[in-house]
């Protein structure tokens, strides 16, 4: 029970890595607030948590919208009195080169993957400062550290997340606010499977290619969630500004 009495706000918490993290944080004693656009899936996660004896709450939220981000922060504070952990996990991907990418897709990916971190952190940090500290975790990607084919805007957005994380760690370390990011490799989520569709590839072939890494498989959402738990808990009390790679060795030969 590493997160007893903690309140965690998780974006993109209705599915994939966010869902696995919400379930894990709740098992570890945290009260979990899930911010997501998918109300049906989000409420299902809340139901799973409450049925297991935990505490959870769902907020329908477009994390790219400043007013909605402010609302979810204010509602969380009103309901639970504090935010100890902010997991900026919401993200989307568009697989295309710059020649094939629309301006609309560029703007949407950057808004969800990067702007949302700015908006929610801006809302949460003042309350963490008053409380004497906190932990902010951002979901980046292995493609935030190295480039990938037909993923120009995704790579750009995740590279921005890595350096935004480091800059925030420098700025807010003196207030005992730790800021870190996770750089997952290919993980078995709906988003990974959607990439195959975007590229017009067969799902089984795409996943087989994604598994070509030293550990010989893609990751699971639960494995990424355990990395988030480490960064959220006191186990990482002297860790800030890091980009934690969790990718089965996929980048081991390229960095």
Q: Measuring CA to CA, how many Å separate 101 from each of 94, 122, 195?
A: 8, 30, 14
Q: 31: which strand partners?
A: 7, 55
Strands of the sheet with 7-11, listed across from one edge: 55-60, 31-36, 7-11, 85-88, 134-139, 177-184, 243-246
Please give the Cα distance from 119 to 82 (Å, whole number).
17
Q: Is 230 a catalytic residue?
A: no
**Which of these is catalytic: 25, 58, 143, 154?**
154
Tell me the CA distances in angstroms from 206 to 57, 63, 198, one per residue in order: 35, 29, 11
**Sign of dihedral through CA atoms 216, 221, 224, 225?**
negative
Residue 65, phi then psi, degrees to nearest 5:
-105, 125
In this structure, the dihedral spanned by the alpha carbons of residues 212, 216, 219 and 223, taken in order and rounded to 10 degrees, is -150
Q: What's the sign of the alpha-carbon dihedral 159, 165, 167, 170?
A: negative
**Annotated catalytic sites, by residue?**
154
């Amino acid at each position: 029970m590493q997160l007893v009495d903690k309140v965690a706000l998780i974006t993109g918490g209705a599915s994939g890595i966010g869902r696995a993290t919400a379930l894990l944080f709740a098992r570890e004693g945290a009260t979990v607030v899930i911010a997501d656009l998918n109300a049906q899936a989000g409420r299902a996660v809340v139901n799973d948590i409450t049925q297991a004896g935990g505490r959870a709450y769902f907020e329908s939220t477009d994390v790219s919208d400043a007013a909605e981000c402010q609302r979810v922060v204010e509602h969380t504070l009103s309901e639970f009195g504090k935010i100890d952990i902010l997991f900026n996990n919401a993200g989307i991907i568009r697989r295309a080169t710059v020649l094939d990418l629309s301006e609309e897709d560029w703007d949407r990916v950057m808004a969800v993957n990067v702007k949302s971190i700015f908006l929610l952190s801006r809302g949460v940090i003042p309350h963490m400062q008053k409380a004497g500290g906190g932990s902010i975790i951002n979901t980046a990607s292995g493609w935030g550290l190295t480039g990938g084919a037909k993923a120009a805007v995704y790579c750009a957005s995740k590279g921005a997340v890595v350096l935004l994380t480091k800059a925030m760690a420098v700025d807010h370390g003196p207030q005992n606010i730790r800021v870190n990011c996770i750089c997952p490799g290919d993980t078995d989520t709906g988003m990974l499977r959607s990439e195959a569709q975007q590229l017009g590839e067969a799902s089984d072939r795409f996943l087989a290619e994604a598994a070509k890494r030293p550990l010989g498989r893609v990751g699971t959402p639960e494995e990424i969630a355990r990395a988030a738990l480490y960064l959220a808990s006191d186990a990482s009390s002297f860790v800030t500004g890091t980009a934690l790679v969790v990718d089965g060795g996929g980048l081991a030969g390229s960095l």
